[in-house]
């Protein structure tokens, strides 16, 4: 492991865009096609569980057809040589498939099922249907193990600790619209980290970063990793 620098990388939907997964808030994004109140809130799930299960089943199926891109692969290469942790808002598994091991999914994972009654979590395997039963409490309130609006993200304490100890904090392909992920750069800067944003465009949190690089993640992230590794 080279150097002693601790690197925390926050990723968002933009890092998976070049793999063929839609972002949320870009003009052709998921929220241009679906009402987030209907598919990404607990109330929406209560109102129409079939619609929500179909929305996530379709995304789970689409995920099986795509591959990690150059940005995911570069971050896995970085982790193999430097102390690197990925905090991802993404529910896909492209970081893991690229070879990253230290990955925290703060908004859950498409591959997971969650019991809305007892809180048990398990690998979903394939589709989740409204009649499915929880293997522990046997109730029928099985849902995707993702974090909807108004719900508490996962791993928040661990993420806060990592960010407080980071020497470098990078955010890749996130609009900075969603809290609490969008506050991590402020915490990292307060703790003295070098902060760097990678995005196609300026975002509402760009001002919080000490450096910003513009372009497709698949191009600008591998270049940055090469710089860090001294190539």
Contact 34, 24 (CB under 8 A): no
Shortest distance, CB of residue 181 to ligand BJW, whole angstroms? Answer: 7
Q: Is 170 a binder of ligand BJW (CB under 6 A)?
A: no
Closest to ligand BJW by CB, 68 or 173: 173
Of 82 and 205, which CB lies nearer to ligand BJW in the complex structure?
205
Q: State which of residues 19, 84, 175, 195 lies at the interface with ligand BJW (CB under 6 A).
A: 175
The nearer residue to ligand BJW, 83 or 148, going by C-beta atoms, is: 148
Between the CA of residue 36 and those of 30, 44, 106, 148, what are the distances in Å? 9, 8, 18, 9
How many angstroms from the chain centroid is the CA of residue 43? 23
Q: Which of 72, 107, 120, 155 is catalytic?
A: 107
Whether the CB-CB separation of 172 and 217 falls below 8 Å is answered with: yes
CA 57 distance to own-chain centroid = 18
Residue from 1, 27, 179, 192 in contact with ligand BJW (CB under 6 A): 179
Nearest distance in Å: CB 47, ligand BJW = 16
Nearer to ligand BJW, 77 or 143 (CB): 143
Report how many residues bind ligand BJW under the rule CB under 6 A. Answer: 35
Determine if 40 is a binding residue for ligand BJW (CB under 6 A). yes
Residue 178 touches ligand BJW, criterion: CB under 6 A: yes
Examine residue 62 and tell whether it contacts ligand BJW (CB under 6 A): no
Tell me if 167 sits within 8 A of 6, measured CB to CB: yes
In the range 86-115, which residues lie near ligand BJW by CB under 6 A? Answer: 89, 91, 107
Long-range contacts (CB closer than 8 Å, 24 or more residues apart) made by 151-160: 151/42, 153/106, 153/107, 153/180, 153/181, 154/104, 154/105, 154/106, 154/107, 154/108, 155/87, 155/104, 155/105, 155/106, 156/106, 156/180, 158/104, 159/87, 159/104, 159/106, 159/184, 160/187
Residue 163 phi/psi, 5-degree rounding, is: -65, -40
**Catalytic annotation on 207?**
no
Q: Is 44 in the site for ligand BJW (CB under 6 A)?
A: no
The residues carrying an active-site annotation are 107
Q: Which residues bind ligand BJW (CB under 6 A)?
A: 12-14, 17-18, 23-26, 29, 40, 89, 91, 107, 146-153, 173-175, 177-180, 199-201, 203, 216-217
């Amino acid at each position: 492991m080279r150097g002693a620098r601790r690197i925390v990388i926050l990723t968002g939907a933009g890092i998976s865009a070049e793999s063929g997964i839609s972002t949320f808030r870009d003009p052709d994004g998921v929220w241009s096609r679906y009402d987030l109140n209907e598919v990404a809130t607990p109330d929406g799930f209560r109102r129409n569980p079939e619609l929500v299960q179909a929305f996530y089943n379709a995304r789970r199926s689409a995920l099986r057809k795509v591959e990690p891109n150059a940005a995911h692969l570069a971050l896995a290469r970085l982790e193999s040589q430097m102390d690197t942790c990925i905090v991802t808002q993404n529910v896909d598994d492209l970081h893991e498939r690229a070879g990253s091991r230290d990955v925290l999914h703060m908004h859950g994972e498409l591959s997971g099922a969650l019991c809305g009654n007892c809180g048990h979590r398990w690998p979903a395997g394939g589709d989740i249907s409204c009649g499915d039963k929880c293997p522990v409490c046997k109730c029928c309130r099985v849902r995707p193990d993702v974090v909807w609006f108004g719900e508490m993200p996962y791993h928040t304490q661990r993420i806060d600790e990592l960010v407080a100890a980071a020497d470098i904090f990078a955010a890749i392909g996130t609009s900075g619209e969603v809290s609490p992920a969008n506050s991590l750069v402020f915490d990292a800067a307060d703790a003295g980290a070098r902060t760097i944003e990678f995005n196609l465009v300026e975002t509402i949190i760009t001002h919080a970063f000490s450096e910003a690089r513009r372009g497709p993640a698949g191009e600008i992230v591998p270049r940055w990793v090469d710089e860090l590794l001294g190539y």
